[in-house]
Amino acid sequence: MNAQAHIGVTGLAVMGRNLARNFARHGYTVAVHNRTAARTRSLVEEFGDEGTFVPAKTAREFVDALQRPRRLMIMVQAGVATDAVLDEFALLLEPGDMIIDGGNAHFADTRRREAALQERGIHFVGAGISGGEEGALNGPSIMPGGSKESYAVLGPMFETISAHVDGEPCSTHIGSDGAGHFVKMVHNGIEYADMQLIAEAYDLLRQVAQYSPAEIAGIFRTWNKGRLNSYLIEITAEVLSHTDAGTGRPFADVIADAAGEKGTGRLTVQTALDLGSPVTAIAQATFARAASSQPALRAAYRPLPGGTPIPLTRSEAERFTAQVEQALYASKVIAYDQGFKMIQDAALAYRWDIDFGAVAGIWRGGCIIRAAFLDRIRTAHAADPHLVSLLAEPAFAQEITAAQVPWREVVATTARRGVPTPAFTAALSYYDTLRAERLPAALIQGQRDYFGAHTYQRTDKEGSFHTHWARPDRPETHI
Ligand SMILES: NC(=O)C1=CN([C@@H]2O[C@H](COP(=O)(O)OP(=O)(O)OC[C@H]3O[C@@H](n4cnc5c(N)ncnc54)[C@H](OP(=O)(O)O)[C@@H]3O)[C@@H](O)[C@H]2O)C=CC1
Ligand SMILES: O=C(CO)[C@H](O)[C@H](O)COP(=O)(O)O
């Protein structure tokens, strides 16, 4: 077989087949391969006229079809499937070749794989890719890690097929080894928080303001023209305005209310715990999905009393809607801020030289969390590479200040009415935690010292201290 392909894609399910088509549509010759050959055949039969594909039945044929240095993209399930594919292909590659893992791999796996392949002179690039089916075909957001040398070769290809915003590609070299997959993981964590916040806003408008799904779709469409403009708000309006063909009922009312997940939100929260990053809105969004999928537990709680339902007048409902918009925006700023802080914590822990403004920049297009306000997040981080929080930036601080009364009013209303808003509540609580002059953490230190002699620090003296709680005079020792 002629080694003619510029790149190869193995794993031709939703993402792989569309990325392969995207490369081909941009003039690249693409070798295509899948464990089950039927997927390879159907890709070439259905879309062969979109560009030049080289179908391969075996791993050997696939590798032989690639120009040197070989560029081989894996688009299979994360975990054991990725290891199985790597085991199969890595043996056939040579020093200088490049393997790109475009799946949602755990960044620690990516670090392990990169180190192992580096020993054999093979570049391993863990590249987060977001945008789903449509993005993969028409322009995703691409978050590659790995070496700078590999990005020098792969970058132009990624930048060609990625989404573009204001003429700028939504692909950039994130940092070494697992940095790309880490940033993609946090992207998904933010995705969970954003989706949960939007879902809570819907629930409030439905249960408190008593609007129909179609009316709420209209409200979301209006919001989408303003500062909340984003892909997730846009698709929410589409889902809410859809009528179920079989029953004639709003589609939102016929979907079972148990949210699924493939694990990236969970992974974000697990990793955040290891790093000590307080991503509370992301965590609550992840737990909200888990709680929704516990039928027996929900059945046990269902008969218990909740809040007081009080009907709103039309003008009250309109006022409440404006308050929900403020609360949603403020909570969303907090959720994104938590995500960026987590990336900063990881950059420090793993010595990744990440340009946070550039991360916001490539999330402006192609990915699931693309949103107009990411442009402002980009500007804020670009202006100050050490920006510790978006709320340290005057314009965001001003917006959060303006949202104070409505944000608190909405959260108070949810408590009074018994409407669950774990993400709204977590975001407001995070805000109040960080702005507090003094936290009850002091008391926790006292408790820890009491039962475990864990020591504490004082506000008035340097060093660590322990109080001898069991002794009647409770003397304090300077450790
Ligand atoms: N779907 C989405 O919207 C997004 C997905 N991703 C990530 O991209 C990757 C691909 O996702 P998606 O396209 O949805 O496909 P899936 O995650 O459903 O994976 C299916 C593909 O994996 C292959 N595969 C599974 N196990 C093995 C194995 N042991 N050896 C070889 N091949 C195997 C399948 O081959 P076969 O046909 O033979 O079964 C098939 O090509 C995943 O890591 C996913 O998390 C990232 C962004 C968005
Ligand atoms: O990576 C993605 C988008 O960026 C995928 O769509 C992801 O699988 C969605 O996560 P989940 O299935 O857990 O809701």
- The CATH number covering residue 449 comes to 1.20.5.320
Q: How many other CB atoms sit within 10 Å of the CB of residue 298?
A: 13
262 alpha carbon – ligand 2 mean position (Å)? 7
Helix (H) / strand (E) containing 53: strand 53-55
Catalytic residue numbers? 184, 191
410: in domain: yes
304: in domain: yes
178: in domain: no
The residue out of 173, 194, 209 marking a domain boundary is 173
Same domain, 291 and 395: yes
Ligand nearest to the CA of 366: 2
- The set of residues, in sequence order, having a beta carbon less than 8 Å from that of 452 and lying 6+ positions away, is none
The residue out of 149, 173, 197 marking a domain boundary is 173
Determine the atom of ligand 1 nearest the C-alpha atom of 103: 43
**Domain containing residue 466:** 440-478
Q: Is the CB of 264 under 6 A from ligand 2?
A: yes
- The set of residues, in sequence order, having a beta carbon less than 8 Å from that of 364 and lying 6+ positions away, is 165, 170, 370, 371, 374, 375, 378
- Looking up tokens 């070749």, which residue turns up? 97
Same domain, 363 and 451: no
- Nearest C-alpha to atom 14 of ligand 2 is from which residue? 261
Determine the atom of ligand 2 nearest the C-alpha atom of 368: 4
Helical residues (DSSP H) of 208-279, grouped into ranges = 213-223, 231-241, 251-254, 264-275
Instruction: Tell me the DSSP string of 306-357.
Output: -----PPPHHHHHHHHHHHHHHHHHHHHHHHHHHHHHHHHHHHHHT----HH
- Nearest C-alpha to atom 16 of ligand 1 is from which residue? 77
Q: pTM of the prediction?
A: 0.96
Q: Taking a C-beta distance cutoff of 8 angstroms, is the pair 67, 94 a contact? A: no
Same domain, 39 and 96: yes
Same domain, 155 and 46: yes
Determine the atom of ligand 1 nearest the C-alpha atom of 264: 45
The interface predicted TM-score (ipTM) is 0.97
Please give the annotated binding residues, written as ranges: 11-16, 34-36, 76-78, 104, 130-132, 187-188, 192, 262, 289, 448, 454
CATH code, domain carrying 56:
3.40.50.720
474 in the Ramachandran plot: left (φ > 0), alpha (ψ -120 to 50) or beta? left
Same domain, 162 and 189: no
Helix (H) / strand (E) containing 127: strand 123-130
Please give the annotated binding residues for NADP(+), written as ranges: 11-16, 34-36, 76-78, 104
Same domain, 455 and 427: no
The residue out of 115, 148, 173 marking a domain boundary is 173
179 alpha carbon – ligand 1 mean position (Å)? 21
264 alpha carbon – ligand 2 mean position (Å)? 7
What six digits make up the tokens of 443?
């008391």
Same domain, 216 and 155: no
Q: What is the pLDDT along the chain (479 residues), one digit of tens a residue?
A: 577 999 999 999 999 999 999 999 999 999 999 999 999 999 999 999 999 999 999 999 999 999 999 999 999 999 999 999 999 999 999 999 999 999 999 999 999 999 999 999 999 999 999 999 999 999 999 999 999 999 999 999 999 999 999 999 999 999 999 999 999 999 999 999 999 999 999 999 999 999 999 999 999 999 999 999 999 999 999 999 999 999 999 999 999 999 999 999 999 999 999 999 999 999 999 999 999 999 999 999 999 999 888 899 999 999 999 999 999 999 999 999 999 999 999 999 999 999 999 999 999 999 999 999 999 999 999 999 999 999 999 999 999 999 999 999 999 999 999 999 999 999 999 999 999 999 999 999 999 999 999 999 999 999 999 999 999 999 999 99
288 alpha carbon – ligand 1 mean position (Å)? 26
Determine the atom of ligand 2 nearest the C-alpha atom of 191: 4
1: in domain: no
Same domain, 416 and 468: no
Same domain, 414 and 459: no
Q: Is the CB of 104 under 6 A from ligand 2?
A: yes
